[in-house]
Amino acid sequence: SCDWRFERFTMDDGLSRAVQHTFVRLYTEGLVYRGDYLVNWDPDNQTVLSNEEVDTVERPGSLWTVRYAVVDADGQDTGEFLSVATTRPETIPADTGVAVHPDDDRFRHLVGQRVRVPLTDRLVPVVADDAIKMDFGAGALKVTPGHSEIDFEIGRRHGLPTLSILNPDGTLNELAGAYAGLDRAVAKKQVVADLDAAVLLAKTEAYTVQTPVSSRSGAVIEPLLSPQWYVSMKPLAEKALAAIHTGEVAFHPARWKNEMVRWLDEGRDWPISRQLWWGHRIPIWYPTRDDGSRDEAAFAVSIDSPGAGYVQDDDVLDTWFSSWLWPFATLGWPEAGGDGKPMPAMQAFYPGSVLVSGYDILGIWISRMLMAGLHFTGEVPFRDVAVTGMVKDKLGRKMSKSLGNGIDPLDMADQYGADAVRFTLATLCAQGQDIKLDPSGFEGGRNFANKLWNAFNVFGRFLETDADAHPTTDVGPMPDPATLVEQWIATRFAETVAAVDEALGKYRISEAAQTVYDFVWRDVCDWYLEVAKPLPGEPMDARTLAFSVGLYENVLRLVHPFMPFVSEELWWKLRPRPAGQALAAAAWPTPGATFPEEAATFASVQEVVGAVRQIRAQYSVAPSKRIEAEVHVPDEAAAEALDRLAGATVTRLAGLSTLRVGTSMEKPPASAAVLVGRMAVFVPLAGTIDLDAERARLNKEIDAKAGFLRSVEGKLANETFVSRAPEAVVAVERQKAADAAAQIEALRATLADLG
């Protein structure tokens, strides 16, 4: 159940306070710093983006080969040119070097020399760096540290200066000389034209460019040198990695553990300042000078204003900087309770047991909650991470606005019912695999909800109710299982609870849902209720009614997590209850007593009934027509048990007029036969039996059994199997062979009897 007292919004006062506190604390610890680095700059939104907010898309573009003139010690052209390939000629004015690979014999003699940056008078060095790919383009790279991450690294390794020629709005600045003021796209064309005119353009090739774009605005991202606030992630990631390796945090399915380790291992610092108008403001304050300008160097870090004359930084924090505190900031952290201990809610609910999440936010959110939890509270925020797949459309595509393939769960709830939607999704979400969702799939869930409702009516219509259909008298506690079918359903219930418990314990939600579904439909409805319901026009006896109500109560407990609304509604129809005793607050069921022998007997009842039904279908016997049947069983005890405990049941469910059970009765003439286990079921069909059809059917049956027998005998003939397989396994195979042989024998006898 949800505890709505803890509903929170990240912009609430308490959480805002926690966010500010976190920033100040990390700053004090030296884990938050301001640095000039290349950031992903979105020129449209004029903000920095984290790597997670940047998508790489392929766009058609060009690869230009540009000739850089080599100069001598005096700066005079030597007549030699060094060719460089680039997709971004507009950044040439920001070049501060050219790099080649140290092993590249073509350029070895040029390393240490200087070249002239095209369209400028600047001379820059040729350096050798391992990062250069000799076989790409011209084999040499123009180094533009101010506008490329790799170049930034190369520049740093070789002490090259960093020039930035871009304005925040995507136009070129005064360092770009003649190109100042032009938009980057316009400048690109202009530079190419000028290079061509200067005979410095060696080649233009069509080329697919990997283009970084903003996942927010779609704008092409510019790597831009900019002062931003960062969190040092290494120290935080180390704690998280340790917790993962010791198993303090476990992932389900386990493969996501590796994914998480990969995320944490990267250890790249986290840019947290954003130039957006909405968010938690950075708790940085600048003193204002007399002229009204800010003294950015003399900033103070503080939740509240340090005093008059200070203005707060306009930047806000990345949304995840508040989200990563979610597991504990929602519980009152960092405020303390009265005695200096954590808030009572923290003590009660932290750490959490499980976090359920889609894999798409594993790196951006889950990993950070882990780090924040360990760093700020000293404990993991959750012990298990259950990773689910993503819901895709029925063709397997991500849902998106542009494709218009989104499926609104509220629409689906309107159409099929909330329980139907919930249940269907539960059955579909197998072990973190993506779900290809076809809305028509919700029909299955709807049908199940309907089935639950109708099944209630089988016995519910015998309950005394008031005008509002609320029960007025309590049928009393559930009696102990006494009849064969009750003992069987009690056994099946116990098995089902155990299976559901196990599945849920492993976060196998779909398996749990499927198990519940099968139990309700296949066992409760198809068999228990069919046996328990009275004949038309007759009442249900009080004991059966009490058992049915008790059983259904247990069924509803099991169903409730998957279909909360229908189950709750039915819960109140079972017996009068004091207000507040909702199913939502009821105990989860426990397995209860089992009756293995009786359950096995009932299983053979099911087989006998199935056999008769098979014959009825085969001979198109009208459902309303009562027919006779004989069941031959191997021993007296079994015959007695079947006859006494289940004779009436079989008669009813199979639509029989009479049922005879015996050990060695004479086979009825002209009868259809079906073998089930070590029993034989005969249905005399004098007059209606089609001898040819029955012979064909028996032959088919014999063939199938013979095939089975051959495979089993094949195993048994294999000496290594008999000698090396566990004894029990061999014994089972021997039994199977014996049974199959006996069945074939019986079928042949029946066939012979047909004449």
- Do 497 and 490 contact (CB within 8 A), yes or no? no
Between residues 543 and 715, which has the closer beta carbon with respect to RNA?
715
- Do 438 and 392 contact (CB within 8 A), yes or no? no
Return all residues near 578 (Cβ < 8 A) that are at least 6 apart.
Answer: none
Between residues 16 and 514, which has the closer beta carbon with respect to RNA?
514
- From CA 463, how far away is CA 542, in angstroms rounded? 10
Between residues 88 and 203, which has the closer beta carbon with respect to RNA?
88
Between residues 153 and 335, which has the closer beta carbon with respect to RNA?
153
- Compute the least distance from the CB of residue 93 to RNA, in Å: 15
Cα–chain center distance at 511: 14
Tokens of 423: 């249940």
- Compute the least distance from the CB of residue 474 to RNA, in Å: 22
The DSSP output letter for 724 is: H
Between residues 335 and 628, which has the closer beta carbon with respect to RNA?
628
Between residues 513 and 633, which has the closer beta carbon with respect to RNA?
513
Helix, strand, coil shares, percent, the chain, to 5: 45, 20, 35
Between residues 379 and 530, which has the closer beta carbon with respect to RNA?
530
- Do 306 and 283 contact (CB within 8 A), yes or no? no
- Compute the least distance from the CB of residue 444 to RNA, in Å: 4
- From CA 459, how far away is CA 552, in angstroms rounded? 10
Kindly write down the DSSP assignment for every residue of 157-183, as one continuous string: HHT------B-TTSBB-GGGGGGTTSB
- Compute the least distance from the CB of residue 60 to RNA, in Å: 12
Between residues 340 and 726, which has the closer beta carbon with respect to RNA?
726
Tokens of 671: 């009868």
- Do 97 and 127 contact (CB within 8 A), yes or no? yes
Between residues 15 and 653, which has the closer beta carbon with respect to RNA?
653
Strand 270-271 vs strand 310-312: parallel, antiparallel, or unpaired?
unpaired
Tokens of 613: 């039904």
- Compute the least distance from the CB of residue 637 to RNA, in Å: 22
- Do 89 and 195 contact (CB within 8 A), yes or no? yes
- Compute the least distance from the CB of residue 739 to RNA, in Å: 9
Return all residues near 190 (Cβ < 8 A) that are at least 6 apart.
Answer: 90, 179, 182
- Compute the least distance from the CB of residue 446 to RNA, in Å: 5
Helix (H) or strand (E) holding 435: strand 435-436
- Compute the least distance from the CB of residue 140 to RNA, in Å: 6
Kindly write down the DSSP assignment for every residue of 200-211, as one continuous string: -EEEEEEEEEEE
Please list the alpha-helical segments (H only) found in 580-635.
Answer: 596-618
- Compute the least distance from the CB of residue 76 to RNA, in Å: 26
